[in-house]
């Protein structure tokens, strides 16, 4: 078991984060993720080649460089194709998404859940605020033609509590950030501001260039701490800890997963998206163990949202032109 010590729990409570090394078994969890996504990229490249949108499938290239070439040649990032979530609006009946068994196994990783249990208790719900991040080198990534913004660039400063609606303000949402390969300062590791979570949820702003972001005038950005992480480690973060990522200035992609958990019964902040009981010490039979059932819950959600676009409006918390954002 990987339950945290009292000293580690105290560190998390004081600082708003903790990195736990060697917690994710590479062969059992990370390598299957890579294989699953390689198959996805095979399918995407073959489809784009057949449609004449790329000049080669680039099958001889390793995953990261192949993905970068496909993005660059199409002038488009295909993030939704690989993600295990859905957009907030304009969801199509055939919206690209991926809900594979290797992803599901990561959501139920027992060592990750052991640490989560130390921080939020033994009744753990897999919160559906979840994503995969495949970030090519910024200099090779397509830009938004209207704003010039890198489409998968450095993540702006924010608190994760800002991406859920008000009903989840008191939810003990825990972020778990897992690098699929080493995350370095060169390829865009995360940065945090320790101890700033005690201030509470701060005013965020919205712009076409930065998206949803936390202006640095609201927190002590000078205390920024980069967190390089080895493959197999995981970052556990308080929902109100300010964090961002650095730019990817390396020669390859930076690949990570964002997972969220909260105590079962608390609002997730995304009421239209499906979560599940990942661990229950009191009622183990309530745990979801079937990856196909998990996948179907998302496919059912996709169908419902495509038929009822009015369902997505409540996902937005911050609006452009809010006070303090001029």
Predicted pLDDT of residue 144: 85
At 271, which CATH number? Answer: 2.60.120.620
In a domain, residue 128? The reply is yes
User: Is the Cβ–Cβ distance between 141 and 150 less than 8 Å?
Assistant: yes
pLDDT along the chain (326 residues), means of 10: 87 98 97 98 98 97 97 95 93 96 98 98 98 96 86 92 93 98 98 96 86 89 96 98 97 98 97 96 98 98 90 68 76
Count of Cβ atoms closer than 10 Å to residue 218 Cβ: 17
In a domain, residue 264? The reply is yes
In a domain, residue 323? The reply is no
Predicted pLDDT of residue 212: 85
In a domain, residue 147? The reply is yes
Predicted pLDDT of residue 57: 97
State the total domains in the chain. 1
User: Is the Cβ–Cβ distance between 192 and 237 less than 8 Å?
Assistant: yes
Q: Provide the domain limits for residue 53.
A: 6-315
Task: Determine the Cα–Cα distance for residues 266 and 229; give it in Å rounded to an integer.
Answer: 30
In a domain, residue 320? The reply is no
Predicted pLDDT of residue 65: 97
Measured in degrees and rounded to the nearest 5, phi and psi for residue 256 equal -150, 165
In a domain, residue 158? The reply is yes
In a domain, residue 324? The reply is no
Nearest to 306 by CA among 95, 18, 141: 95
């Amino acid at each position: 078991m990987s339950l945290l010590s009292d000293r580690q729990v105290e560190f998390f409570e004081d600082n708003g984060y903790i990195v736990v090394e060697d917690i994710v078994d590479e062969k059992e969890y990370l390598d299957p993720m890579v294989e699953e996504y390689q198959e996805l990229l095979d399918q995407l490249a073959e489809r784009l080649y057949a449609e004449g949108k790329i000049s080669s499938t680039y099958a001889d290239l390793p995953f990261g460089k192949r993905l970068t070439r496909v993005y660059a040649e199409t002038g488009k990032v295909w993030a939704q194709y690989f993600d295990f979530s859905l957009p907030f609006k304009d969801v199509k009946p055939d919206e690209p998404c991926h809900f594979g068994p290797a992803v599901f196994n990561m959501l139920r990783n027992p060592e990750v859940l052991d640490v989560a249990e130390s921080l939020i208790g033994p009744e753990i719900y897999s919160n559906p605020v979840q994503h995969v991040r495949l970030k090519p080198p910024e200099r090779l990534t397509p830009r938004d033609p209207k704003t010039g913004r890198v489409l998968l660039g450095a993540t702006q400063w924010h608190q994760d509590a800002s991406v859920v609606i008000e009903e989840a303000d008191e939810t003990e949402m825990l972020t778990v950030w897992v690098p699929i390969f080493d995350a370095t300062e060169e390829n865009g590791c995360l940065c945090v501001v320790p101890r700033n979570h005690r201030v509470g949820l701060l005013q965020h702003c919205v712009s076409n260039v930065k998206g949803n972001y936390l202006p640095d005038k609201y927190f002590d950005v000078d205390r920024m701490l980069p967190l390089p992480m080895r493959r197999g480690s995981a970052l556990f973060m308080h929902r109100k800890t300010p964090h961002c990522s650095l730019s990817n200035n390396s020669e390859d992609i930076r690949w990570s997963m964002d997972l969220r958990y909260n105590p079962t019964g608390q609002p997730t902040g995304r009421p239209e998206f499906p979560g599940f009981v990942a661990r229950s010490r009191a009622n183990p039979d309530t745990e979801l163990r079937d990856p196909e059932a998990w996948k179907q819950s998302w496919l059912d959600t996709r169908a419902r949202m495509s038929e009822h676009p009015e369902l997505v409006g409540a996902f937005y918390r911050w609006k452009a032109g809010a006070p303090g954002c001029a």
